[in-house]
Chain A
Amino acid sequence: MIDKRLFRLPGTKQLLIVLAGLTLLQAFVVLFQGKYLAEALVNSWNQKALQTIILPMTLFAIAFILRHLLNLINNKIVENYASKTSEKIRSQLLDRVYEAGPSLLSEKGTGNIVTASLDGIDLIENYFKLIFTKLMNMTFIPPVLLIYIYTQNIASGITLTIIVPLVILFMIILGLAAQAKADAQYHQYTILSNHFLDALRGLPTLKMLGLSKRYAKNIYTVSDEYRRRTMNTLRIAILSTFALDWLTTLGIAILAVFLGLGLINNSLPLFPALVTLILAPEYFLPLRDFSSDYHATLDGKNALGSIFSILEKDDTKSEETDLKKLTWNEDSKLEVDNLIFNYADGQNNHDASLDIKQIQLNGYQRIGVIGKSGSGKTTLIRTLGGFLNPDKAEIKVNDQSINSLKQRTWQDELAFLPQSPYLFSGTIADNIAFYKPNATEKEIQYASEKAGLKDFMETLPEGYQTVIGEGGRGISGGQQQRIMIARAFLASDRHILIFDEPTAHLDIETEYALKKPMEELFKDHLVIFATHRLHWIKEMDYVIVMDSGKITEQGTPDELSNHNGAFNQLINNMRGDQL
């Protein structure tokens, strides 16, 4: 019901104390509301004049208003706390994303994180509201009322005391039955409930297969089957609410009967009987409120749990030695020895873990990384880019030893060009100047001319100020890649380029056209280039061939092609039969 980690959130304890005070106050106000209403009613019953009920009536009204005023204050406090705290959690989540970066994303899925940071936070906010207010109400209001009822009429007190455990028992039994029933049907159930969306998404396919017209009947049949099953499950699922309702209303009915009999037997006067009857529904109210929002509570609890699990995931942060200020030049050297990287269990990667003996990168070399898909190419270049923290590695930059490349000074030297570049929602200028937000318009223009963007920019009425990305103008894959190249040209203070299949999905002529600006960009840079497009290999000074996370061969392309090893085998497989 309650996640214990909640109490560790800042401000929770103070909040609970304040709420406890307010709710206790509210309990007494509810009590007075009932008491003065009963007094007024007793006077009317005694056929007394209006004047005699004015005082109790006024006090009733004051108590009633005060009760809802306290409720308002209570809500205000909880809502403020909830929005502040959930905002803090969102901010922490973003920090985590930045810190743990891609490895976190590949584990949890990008979609999940976006949803968690938006809808998840809303659910959590709601959860705070429900859990704190309703739990407090359940804790304080019924006991206060019950004690008072005992002082008025012991038998009624006992009746009300007995009903609560009964309610809880019934709810547990029926809740379990419903759960069992739902579990048994769950698999079929999800298929049925997703069937419609599946059919809509597959409509073009159905159309191609000539099935789309006939399938309409199927939509109805399946939807009706879904209805039948839902109703079957619902019949049991809402039984627990029914049991709660039934026991509480019946409790009131039984109470009324006992009180009536007691009155006839002359064992108690009207006032205690009436006040008990009035307070009985108030006694059950917190329990009913709580159970009606039970499901919303569960959703919130799950959302909070999953966010906590992201936040608490321990970082395998080894003691890092900071890399000293670095400007990569033609004499620079990076040595990596005995590199071990293992993906954590459950991390949904499509690439191999790494076990690499030795790599050495020098000056403005061009290094190609090749291998079939899943061979660990991407993992290797992401480790070299400092996106992934190796489990073990001896790394030497120039002459300084470090154990990870996840270092600000290292990444300040990098420009990264992935297979599908991510364009930010903003102008083209913003996107080009991403590594260098203060760049002047002139610099941006110069860089994009070098990247071959000039012609394209001239077709855009708003030029560099054209808004792209989400909801903006769609931009073809080739132009997206050119924007990335322009970005790298602009960031002339970054001397290491990392490419991950930058042209694999482009059409051949676009790829052909991109070669020139890219080769231009290679100059005076250390280039690390993962690819399975054969023509790039010719441009490289040195090639690393990967298989199952290990380096099977490395050397210059000429060396490698001269003997029949992993390199030649791979090239032949990739090339296929020729004309």
Chain B
Amino acid sequence: MKVFKHDTWVKPYIKKYKGLLTSVLLLGLLTSFCAAALMFTSGYTIDKAATHPVNILLIYVPILLTRAFGIGRPTFKYIERLKSHNWVLKVTSNLRTRLYTTLESDASFFNEHHKAGDIMGLLSEDINHLQNLYLRTVFPTVIAYLLTLIGSLALGIYTPAFGIFVFLLLVIEVAVVPFVSVVIENNRKERQKQLKSSLYTKLTDNILGVDDWIISGRFKDFKNLSAKDVDELNASKDKSKSFKRNRDFILQLIFAAIAICFLIFTNLTMTDNQEQANFVAAVVLSLFPLSDTLIPVSQGFEEWPQYRDSIERLNKIQPVKNELPEQVDLMPNDFKSLDLNDVNFEYSSDSPILIKHFTQHIKKGEKLALLGPSGIGKTTILQLILGDLTPQTGDIKINDIDIQSIQKNRDKIFSVLNQKPFLFNTSVINNVRLGNENRSDSDVIEAIEKVGLKDLIESLPDKYNTNVGENGARFSGGEQERIALARILLQDAPIVLLDEPTVGLDPITENNLLNTFFDVLQDKTIIWVTHHLQGIKYVDHVVFMNDERIEMQGSPEELYKNNEHFQELYKMDQGL
């Protein structure tokens, strides 16, 4: 329960939409009540009828009630399910907005903290887990507890001792057994999770590495790779299953004990006269439908470890307070130069210094290419220029304004195009329009034409309304780059940062794409991170970085003439 101590993702939301929440719990309770009452009135009807009352009207009321409860149970259950989903989905909308705004506040989140894996998928899955936490654990448990209390009280008013006794048995059923089983299963479940993730790694090794396995001829090793994990996982799961079977059996035994108590109790206390005895079957039979409410509590508890992880992960994400200096309005047209003066940067004090004494002066309209081995900090320089990262020493200025002072309207100054530009799962035209939402359809189409996609897109059945698919999958890598380029054209910022936009493309596609880039971005200032020398003639200035310093720089023509190493590289690149 430590999990909830500092929780801000579950507790606060229980107070939301109180009316709806109360009605959900009430309806759940009513459903159980009707189920019990149906058997109660049915039992009474039969017992009473068996006394052959002279007047048929005497059983008319119980008959009517029987019908009412018979209809009431499914109806309440139906409404309860709808209302509970409605509540949960309302809360989900809030949770999603909150997760989004929290992540939005942390620009560096995407760069450093969470490089590994599909953290976004994980987080959005976590919110789905919270939905299930409410629907499958919280609601059923609260309803079962309310039922236990109310049922025991009702019996207690009649016979206090019996009420207390039944209450104790019910507590074992809905609280003791579930809690104990969570405690017992906790470690096992934890271990199973580890095994499962290790198994996932190994199966991935099997499947993604299958080429190497086949060539190596190591079939036995291939099969045995996951065998140990599988065996241990299955053994552990078997234990869990066996535990669960036994637990369910014990729950039934307790329920049987309660039933026997009811039989004895009714026989002892309700057989003084016929009128009382008519209620015997009613009381005993009303108990049985309640097992539907009481026994699943343990099942709900069992899912707890899964929810706990989600709650913990969500709570770890904290909004980041950006303390920006006073913001200055810089008109895009006023941009004159971008200066990096003796910039030094390290991610943290114990990691090596990544950027050392980096200085560049970039004038308006200038095109600069940045090269160097991977991991040398080329992308980091782009992030420093954007102001997402701040250098430890040195400064980065636009005109004479510190980069941190123009963050508010940064999108007016900078455009960015990545290696894998993100396209939203909507139409082409909507994706491009994101560059500037105020522009007309014809402006958007003009941009698409400029990047050379007009013919392709107009040949598609849905034309500009064609959906790009998840992550733009409908289009090839080069086409995705072009769509993103059209978006940037609409954005119309004076500085464009290109982060290896052509890596992974074949040279012909690459040539064509670079051609388009530098053609349509003619009047922009471009800082282009690239991995080889294809298209290097388009730039005014080339900077080669290595892990110590700037290794060489200058205009490509100059370097080719004067620098032997550059010449060698260029010749290799061009196959000369």
Quick check: which of B80-88, B328-336, B354-362 contacts chain A, the rest being far away?
B80-88
- Digitize A497-517: 1 where CB-to-B-CB distance is under 8 Å, 0 elsewhere: 000000011111111100100
B89–A230 CB distance below 8 A: yes
Contacts of A478 in B (CB 8 A): 373-374
Quick check: which of B19-27, B160-168, B527-535 contacts chain A, the rest being far away?
B527-535
Contacts of A536 in B (CB 8 A): 575
Chain A residue with Cβ nearest B571: A535
Choose from B201, B210, B237 the contact partner of A83 (Cβ within 8 Å): B237
Given contacts A422-B211, A476-B373, contact A277 B285 (CB under 8 A): yes
B205–A469 CB distance below 8 A: yes
Once bound together, how far apart are the Cα atoms of A238 and B201, in whole Å?
39
A435–B216 CB distance below 8 A: yes
A281–B46 CB distance below 8 A: no
- Digitize A29-60: 1 where CB-to-B-CB distance is under 8 Å, 0 elsewhere: 00000000100110111111110010001001
- In the complex, whether B511 has a CB less than 8 A from a CB of chain A is yes
- In the complex, whether B327 has a CB less than 8 A from a CB of chain A is no
Once bound together, how far apart are the Cα atoms of A238 and B73, in whole Å?
15
Chain A residue with Cβ nearest B85: A234
Once bound together, how far apart are the Cα atoms of A83 and B233, in whole Å?
11
B375–A476 CB distance below 8 A: yes
Once bound together, how far apart are the Cα atoms of A259 and B200, in whole Å?
59
Q: Shortest distance in angstroms between A85's beta carbon and chain B's nearest beta carbon? A: 12
Task: Jot down 15 A-B pairs with beta carbons below 8 A, ordered by A.
Answer: A57-B263, A60-B263, A61-B260, A87-B230, A118-B196, A208-B414, A213-B104, A216-B97, A238-B82, A253-B42, A281-B39, A411-B215, A508-B569, A509-B544, A579-B537
Choose from B216, B245, B270, B568 the contact partner of A44 (Cβ within 8 Å): B270
Contacts of A226 in B (CB 8 A): 89, 93
Once bound together, how far apart are the Cα atoms of A196 and B236, in whole Å?
36
B280–A227 CB distance below 8 A: no
Q: Shortest distance in angstroms between B546's beta carbon and chain A's nearest beta carbon? A: 8
Once bound together, how far apart are the Cα atoms of A184 and B99, in whole Å?
31
Given contacts A256-B66, A385-B215, contact A273 B411 (CB under 8 A): no
Contacts of B226 in A (CB 8 A): 94
Choose from B237, B556, B572 the contact partner of A512 (Cβ within 8 Å): B572
Choose from A191, A230, A470 the contact partner of B425 (Cβ within 8 Å): A191
Q: Give the size of the chain B interface in residues (CB under 8 angstroms).
A: 164
Contacts of B514 in A (CB 8 A): 576
Chain B residue with Cβ nearest A234: B85
A230–B50 CB distance below 8 A: no
Q: Shortest distance in angstroms between A509's beta carbon and chain B's nearest beta carbon? A: 6
Once bound together, how far apart are the Cα atoms of A191 and B426, in whole Å?
8
Contacts of A576 in B (CB 8 A): 507, 511, 514-515, 534-535
A197–B124 CB distance below 8 A: yes
Query: Restricting to A86-130, which residues have a CB under 8 Å from any CB of B?
Result: 87, 90-91, 94-95, 97-98, 101-102, 105, 110, 113-114, 117-118
Choose from A227, A246, A470 the contact partner of B74 (Cβ within 8 Å): A246
Chain B residue with Cβ nearest A503: B532
B92–A227 CB distance below 8 A: yes
- Digitize A474-488: 1 where CB-to-B-CB distance is under 8 Å, 0 elsewhere: 001110000000000
Given contacts A191-B425, A210-B411, contact A41 B284 (CB under 8 A): yes
Quick check: which of A4-12, A317-325, A357-365, A413-421 contacts chain B, the rest being far away?
A413-421
A372–B414 CB distance below 8 A: no
B569–A68 CB distance below 8 A: no
- Digitize A358-388: 1 where CB-to-B-CB distance is under 8 Å, 0 elsewhere: 0000000000000011000000000001110
Choose from B92, B107, B200 the contact partner of A223 (Cβ within 8 Å): B92
- In the complex, whether A548 has a CB less than 8 A from a CB of chain B is no
Q: Shortest distance in angstroms between B507's beta carbon and chain A's nearest beta carbon? A: 4
Contacts of B110 in A (CB 8 A): 203-204
Q: Shortest distance in angstroms between A42's beta carbon and chain B's nearest beta carbon? A: 8
Query: Restricting to A236-271, which residues have a CB under 8 Å from any CB of B?
Result: 238-239, 241-242, 245-246, 249-250, 252-257, 259-264, 266, 269-270
Contacts of A264 in B (CB 8 A): 49, 52-53, 56, 59
Choose from B62, B107, B222, B284 the contact partner of A207 (Cβ within 8 Å): B107
Given contacts A87-B234, A118-B196, A507-B531, contact A270 B50 (CB under 8 A): yes
Q: Shortest distance in angstroms between A470's beta carbon and chain B's nearest beta carbon? A: 4
- In the complex, whether A28 has a CB less than 8 A from a CB of chain B is no
A510–B374 CB distance below 8 A: yes
- In the complex, whether B48 has a CB less than 8 A from a CB of chain A is yes
Given contacts A76-B245, A102-B210, A117-B203, contact A224 B487 (CB under 8 A): no
Contacts of A386 in B (CB 8 A): 214
- In the complex, whether B15 has a CB less than 8 A from a CB of chain A is no
B66–A253 CB distance below 8 A: yes
A198–B372 CB distance below 8 A: no
Contacts of A49 in B (CB 8 A): 267
- In the complex, whether B238 has a CB less than 8 A from a CB of chain A is yes
Given contacts A87-B230, A101-B211, A261-B49, contact A250 B70 (CB under 8 A): yes
Choose from A102, A114, A198, A477 the contact partner of B211 (Cβ within 8 Å): A102
Once bound together, how far apart are the Cα atoms of A75 and B243, in whole Å?
12
Q: Shortest distance in angstroms between B90's beta carbon and chain A's nearest beta carbon? A: 6
Q: Which 5 A-B pairs have the closest CB atoms?
A: A534-B575, A210-B411, A253-B70, A256-B42, A245-B74
- In the complex, whether B371 has a CB less than 8 A from a CB of chain A is yes
B104–A203 CB distance below 8 A: yes
Once bound together, how far apart are the Cα atoms of A471 and B575, in whole Å?
38
Interface centre among B92, B214, B514, B568 (most CB of A within 10 A): B214
A252–B434 CB distance below 8 A: no
Chain B residue with Cβ nearest A409: B217
- In the complex, whether B101 has a CB less than 8 A from a CB of chain A is yes
Contacts of B414 in A (CB 8 A): 208
A535–B85 CB distance below 8 A: no
Contacts of B410 in A (CB 8 A): 210
Once bound together, how far apart are the Cα atoms of A387 and B213, in whole Å?
11
Quick check: which of B249-257, B301-309, B340-348, B446-454 contacts chain A, the rest being far away?
B249-257
B203–A114 CB distance below 8 A: yes
Given contacts A61-B256, A256-B46, A422-B212, contact A263 B536 (CB under 8 A): no
Contacts of B569 in A (CB 8 A): 508-509, 512
- In the complex, whether A180 has a CB less than 8 A from a CB of chain B is no
A200–B124 CB distance below 8 A: yes
- In the complex, whether A186 has a CB less than 8 A from a CB of chain B is no
Given contacts A45-B47, A208-B416, A372-B508, contact A277 B42 (CB under 8 A): yes
Query: Restricting to A272-287, which residues have a CB under 8 Å from any CB of B?
Result: 273-274, 277-278, 281
Contacts of A259 in B (CB 8 A): 45-46, 49
Q: Shortest distance in angstroms between A489's beta carbon and chain B's nearest beta carbon? A: 15
Once bound together, how far apart are the Cα atoms of A419 and B66, in whole Å?
74
Contacts of A574 in B (CB 8 A): 507-508, 511
Chain B residue with Cβ nearest A509: B373
Quick check: which of B2-10, B144-152, B177-185, B271-279 contacts chain A, the rest being far away?
B271-279
Contacts of B522 in A (CB 8 A): none
B120–A532 CB distance below 8 A: no
Query: Restricting to B168-207, which residues have a CB under 8 Å from any CB of A?
Result: 196, 199-207
Contacts of A577 in B (CB 8 A): 537
A242–B74 CB distance below 8 A: yes
Once bound together, how far apart are the Cα atoms of A512 and B199, in whole Å?
38
Chain A residue with Cβ nearest B388: A207
Interface centre among A43, A198, A238 (most CB of B within 10 A): A198
A238–B78 CB distance below 8 A: yes
- In the complex, whether A166 has a CB less than 8 A from a CB of chain B is no
- Digitize B296-324: 1 where CB-to-A-CB distance is under 8 Å, 0 elsewhere: 00000000000000000000000000000
- In the complex, whether B221 has a CB less than 8 A from a CB of chain A is yes
Chain A residue with Cβ nearest B50: A270
A223–B96 CB distance below 8 A: yes
A579–B217 CB distance below 8 A: no
Q: Shortest distance in angstroms between A325's beta carbon and chain B's nearest beta carbon? A: 14
- Digitize A209-233: 1 where CB-to-B-CB distance is under 8 Å, 0 elsewhere: 1111101100110011011001100
Q: Shortest distance in angstroms between A302's beta carbon and chain B's nearest beta carbon? A: 20
B206–A281 CB distance below 8 A: no
B45–A281 CB distance below 8 A: no
